[in-house]
Amino acid sequence: MKITQHIRLIVSDIEGCLSSGKGLFLDLGTLQRIQEYNQQANKGANSPLALCTGRSQPFAEAFCQMLGIVMPCVCENGAFIYDPVRDISVRNPAITERHIAAQKEFVRVLESGLAKEYPHRREPGKEICISLNPDVSKEYYAEEIPRLYRQIRNLIDPSLFAVTHSASAVDITPAGIDKASGVRFLAELTGIPLQEMAGIGDTIGDLPFLKITGISAAPANCTAVIRDSVDYVSQKSAAEGVVDIITCLNEKKFP
């Protein structure tokens, strides 16, 4: 399939895309290839890479350093944009004081005994969003994360919070804040239209931003919902799938 859009920025999720998943070893050889790609992109040879992740700013910063990413990146499911060149984070203007107050109240509820009823571990390092991991061994995440997601979704007020999940966590974000709102803010800050962006994701939490980019793609390990929604699914998984996708994008043709 010929790619007709002019792609100026490739925006990729981390977990399940650049990383095989939380707690798993990184594919350093393949990530080295992505770093080499970015070095050429930074010289204007091809479309640069940015991140769109539910993880915290420090986590995104580490990946920026590892992969040579200089473009601003979406963190905490759209709550912040992190600029690795200026080393600053900018809060999404859609987040209000009401959002912040509601987040603090939900944290209080989490700490007041909810953990005993719905065993979980709270991911540290985030300022606005809340990410929960099931209190089980990682080998059981595939089964327990959807279960924890359903439990939390039944507890929250949808007018205040949205609940999504990735392969590694259940993410609770202020209502109106998701990866799509983050990518829209990214477009505003960079001046790159959404139609000139390509999105790469693997789980339902990525679907909002994959729907608004000019082109969407996923590695082979993506969920069925993503597989049915994107323009291209690589035959390769995780980081190798990302390499395949960015190669196709720059060659302007999907197999």
Same domain, 206 and 82: yes
Same domain, 42 and 163: no
Task: Specify the CATH number for the domain of residue 235.
Answer: 3.40.50.1000
Q: Is residue 59 part of a domain?
A: yes
Per-residue confidence (pLDDT) for residue 114, from 0 to 100: 64
Same domain, 78 and 191: yes
Q: Which of 200, 204, 191 is nearest to 247 (CA)?
A: 200
Per-residue confidence (pLDDT) for residue 164, from 0 to 100: 82
DSSP assignments along 108-132, one per residue: HHIIIIIHHHS-EEEPTT-SS-EEE
Per-residue confidence (pLDDT) for residue 48, from 0 to 100: 96
Same domain, 58 and 152: no
Q: Number of folded domains in the chain?
A: 2
**Strand boundaries in the chain, DSSP class E:** 9-12, 49-51, 73-75, 80-83, 88-91, 120-122, 130-134, 161-165, 170-174, 197-200, 215-218, 232-233
Task: Specify the CATH number for the domain of residue 150.
Answer: 3.30.1360
The domain in which residue 29 lies consists of: 9-93+177-251
Q: Is residue 2 part of a domain?
A: no
Q: Where among 174, 192, 212 does a domain terminate? A: 174
Same domain, 191 and 156: no
Q: Where among 154, 174, 194 does a domain terminate? A: 174
Same domain, 80 and 194: yes
Per-residue confidence (pLDDT) for residue 122, from 0 to 100: 85
Q: Is residue 1 part of a domain?
A: no
Per-residue pLDDT of the chain (255 residues; tens, 9 = 90+): 888 889 999 999 999 999 998 788 999 999 999 999 999 998 888 999 999 999 999 999 999 999 999 999 999 999 999 999 999 999 999 998 888 888 888 888 777 766 667 778 888 889 999 888 888 887 777 888 888 888 888 888 888 888 888 777 888 888 889 999 999 999 999 999 999 999 999 998 899 999 999 999 999 999 999 999 999 999 999 999 999 999 999 999 998
